[in-house]
A and B are shown apart, each in its own frame.
Chain A
Amino acid sequence: MPSSDGPILDAVGLQRSFGSLRVLRGLDVRVGAGEALVIVGPNGAGKTTLLRLLAGLARPSAGEVRVLGKRVEPSAPDARRPIGFVSHQSMLYDDLTVRENVVLAARLYGAPDPGDAARRALEAVGLAGHGEERPPRLSRGLLQRASIARALVHEPHLLLLDEPFTGLDAPAAERLRALLGERLSTGLALVLVTHHLDEAWELASRVAVLAAGRWALDEPRAGDLVQFLHRYHALANA
């Protein structure tokens, strides 16, 4: 990971509307190297929309997203290169094997040796033995791991995760936490959206609550989870 003086992710004044519905109402998001921002919020708070804006998959109605200083927008493909994204959907092709899917991602991101990059990514998520299987044959948990391998294959500087623990059994969830912790220690910046804060609590450097398109809370992780959950429920129900 190259060192960077500024934040890896710097989003300012993000707004997003769908017709008259204002989903995001002016959010700032800054995440530095080695930092993990964990976002929680009730359904419809705008968490997934926020991740799609940060990934460059949707344009903000106002505001801008910068990753490593480059503005993320459709006409700037290089600005998307440092981003990895795990969404609700696997983004995998059913007619390609898991390995082929990950190799494809490595090729799209210009990895010098796509085959080797895919092998390392699959090993990192514990899928080395499932590379020749096709996604429809995988369980929900294995599919999620393949999706994570796809997102990690180009060794992104910023990793955006939408409910990454969904479908993972306890050992797989622990393995993912260890993997993310290891990448954080080497300078990865992480934004993780979850409904299950207990699974991501130990990873978090900061915890933020998104409610009705605004930050209701954004602070360094402190204290224990139970205390935070009391405050979160009060904020989410406010």
Chain B
Amino acid sequence: MREAIRLALVVAAKDIRAELRSKTALLSATVFGALVLVIFNFARDPTALSSTDLAPSALWVTFAFAAMIAMNRAFTVEREHGAFDGLLLAPVPRGALFAGKLLANLAFVAVVEAVALPLFVLFFNLDLSRALGGIVGTAILATIGFVAVGTVFGAMAVRTRFAELLLPVLLLPFMVPPLVGAVQVTSRLLADRPLSEMLGWLRMLAAYDVVFVTVAALVFSYVVDE
């Protein structure tokens, strides 16, 4: 078990180191996220739609698509020069490989979300002093599940010629449940509603994480091996 954890950390550290050098995933995802928030902000008619009504959807659309860009890029580097074969060839249990890629993807998406959240507050002129902790917690809960699914689909898409297209096509349907849950929780947090009104959605997000992280870990081996 310790060896598997060590190998997962080696894989994650490799991805993070490579990304810190190139910054392509983080930069493109962050710029994309900022653009989406700007567009949402200026497209909204403040006399017809209050910022708190639109904000949860805008936030999660931004998070979802920016995360997809970050994950797409994370697997593109594996495709170049057959690098992913190098990982598969090594005596690394597939579970450790999955955990390493998942950790790195979570780190990328967390950074993108951490940059997008202050921009969101700025553009939508929101007071998050009471809701910030809840939104961060919701973001963590919602992100883990869809990043796990994205990690599996990214590994599947990396062997195809249309990886950049395939990942969003495969992943988007699986992102719907956590996105719906996250939007519902965020809107209640912004409206300062009691926790009891969110519990059902939070349970759904937690259940999604448990189910899809488990399933993703189990199917990863079948996806990556020829």
Residues of A within 8 A of B (CB): 52, 55-59, 74-75, 77-81, 83, 85, 87-96, 100, 104-105, 107-110, 135, 150
Contact = CB atoms under 8 A, between A and B. Distances in A.
B10 A100 contact: no
B186 to A, nearest CB: 35
A13 to B, nearest CB: 18
9 nearest A-B pairs in the assembled complex, by CB-CB distance: A89-B82, A91-B86, A108-B90, A95-B18, A58-B226, A77-B91, A81-B91, A74-B225, A95-B21
Contact size range, B = 20 to 34
Contacts of B80: 93-94
B32 to A, nearest CB: 20
10 contacts: A52-B226, A74-B225, A75-B221, A77-B93, A89-B82, A91-B81, A91-B86, A94-B77, A95-B77, A104-B14
Nearest to B9: A107
B82 A78 contact: no
A77 B93 CA distance: 6
A109 B83 contact: no
B90 A93 contact: no
B22 interface: yes
Interface of B: 3, 7, 10-11, 14, 17-19, 21-22, 77, 80-83, 85-94, 221, 224-226
A92 B79 CA distance: 10
A105 B86 contact: yes
Contact of B21 (A75, A80, A96, A105): A96
Contact of A91 (B7, B85, B91, B226): B85
Contacts of A58: 225-226
B94 A108 contact: no
Contact of B225 (A59, A81, A107): A59
Best-surrounded residue of A52, A59, A96 (most CB of chain B within 10 A): A96
B83 A77 contact: no
Best-surrounded residue of B14, B80, B81, B86 (most CB of chain A within 10 A): B86
Given A83-B89, A87-B85, A96-B17, 14 more contacts: A56-B88, A77-B92, A77-B93, A79-B91, A92-B81, A94-B77, A95-B17, A95-B77, A96-B14, A105-B86, A107-B10, A108-B7, A108-B87, A110-B3
A93 B83 contact: yes
A102 B94 CA distance: 21
A74 B94 contact: yes
Contact of A57 (B21, B85, B221): B85
A218 to B, nearest CB: 25
Contact of A109 (B14, B22, B85, B91): B91
Contacts of A95: 17-19, 21-22, 77
Contact of B77 (A57, A85, A93): A93
A75 B85 CA distance: 16
